[in-house]
């Protein structure tokens, strides 16, 4: 669940793509964040990282993204890693990172996609700064952020988006917008994640998670129709009412089916 306030947890490492792969390789179900930190420190997988930096990476980066719900995201990523393309894997990391960081989710939805739809070719650090300053005024932080914190997080947001392929890489104040479209497998995983979390069929189509991939309800419904042809589910839609016959009833079944496919 996305927190209701902005935090500075992105400073733990932005996208953390390669670091997440390493941590997933040594994490096991039931392992707490302190235990993972100890194992990671002893593993030798992070030789150029200080113990304090590694601790922050685990507790502020990995834990809130992948260890919620008894580690369900981490378990899924471990089981499907061999079946997922690099793009699919990274998009799932993007989803969980946005869920754990409201400031990033808002930046993606309100700045990146707004710029994309308006025909702009770039996103600037200044765009991020305006978003954060407005959030400060609206009370979206525990307490008002200092000018230095605003400046720092404003740099992190475009850089994190670059990690996940939404913007060009490089330490630039202005970055080019790159094409970003949800992968078919990621779409199926997200749909089942929402279904198994208790959302009704029509609520799933309108869920805010789809906005992270630039999709409105109509886009989601059209994609559901295409995915139905691949056997993910059976779709019945008439007017504003949609009913979905789900092939799997639990995430465990879906993961097993995908891993065996």
Residues with Cβ within 8 Å of residue 5, at least 6 apart in sequence: 102, 140, 141, 142
Residues with Cβ within 8 Å of residue 2, at least 6 apart in sequence: 98, 99, 100, 101, 102, 105
Over residues 167-216, the pLDDT tens digits come to 999 878 999 999 999 999 999 999 999 999 999 999 999 999 999 999 99
11-37 mean pLDDT: 94
pLDDT band at 60 (very low <50, low <70, confident <90, very high): very high
Range list of β-strands (E), the chain: 122-124, 174-176, 233-238, 241-246
pLDDT at position 3, please? 63
Residues with Cβ within 8 Å of residue 175, at least 6 apart in sequence: 122, 123, 124, 158, 161, 162, 167, 168
Residue position matching structure tokens 């995983």: 189
Range list of β-strands (E), 83-170: 122-124
pLDDT band at 235 (very low <50, low <70, confident <90, very high): very high
pLDDT band at 4 (very low <50, low <70, confident <90, very high): confident
Bridge partners of 174?
124
pLDDT at position 2, please? 58
12-30 mean pLDDT: 94
Cα(235)–Cα(219) distance, integer angstroms: 15
């Amino acid at each position: 669940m996305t927190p209701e306030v902005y935090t500075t947890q992105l400073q733990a490492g932005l996208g953390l793509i390669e670091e997440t792969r390493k941590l997933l390789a040594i994490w096991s179900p039931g392992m707490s964040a302190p235990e993972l930190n100890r194992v990671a420190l002893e593993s030798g997988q992070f030789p150029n990282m200080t113990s304090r930096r590694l601790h922050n990476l685990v507790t502020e980066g990995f834990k809130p993204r992948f260890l919620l719900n008894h580690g369900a995201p981490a378990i899924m990523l471990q089981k499907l890693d061999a079946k997922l393309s690099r793009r699919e894997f990274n998009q799932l990391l993007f989803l969980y990172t946005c869920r754990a960081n409201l400031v990033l989710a808002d930046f993606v939805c309100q700045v990146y996609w707004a710029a994309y739809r308006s025909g702009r070719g770039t996103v600037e650090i200044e765009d991020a700064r305006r978003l954060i300053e407005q959030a400060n005024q609206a009370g979206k932080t525990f307490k008002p952020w200092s000018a230095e914190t605003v400046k720092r997080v404003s740099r992190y947001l475009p850089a994190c988006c670059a990690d996940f392929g939404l913007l060009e890489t490089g330490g630039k104040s202005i970055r080019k917008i790159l094409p970003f479209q949800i992968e078919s497998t990621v779409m199926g995983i997200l749909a089942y994640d929402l279904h198994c979390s208790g959302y009704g069929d029509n609520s799933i189509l309108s869920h805010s998670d789809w906005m992270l991939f630039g999709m409105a309800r109509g886009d989601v419904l059209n994609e559901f129709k295409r995915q139905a042809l691949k056997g993910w589910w059976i779709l019945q839609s008439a007017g504003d009412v949609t009913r979905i016959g789900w092939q799997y009833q639990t995430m465990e079944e879906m993961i097993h089916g995908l891993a065996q496919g």
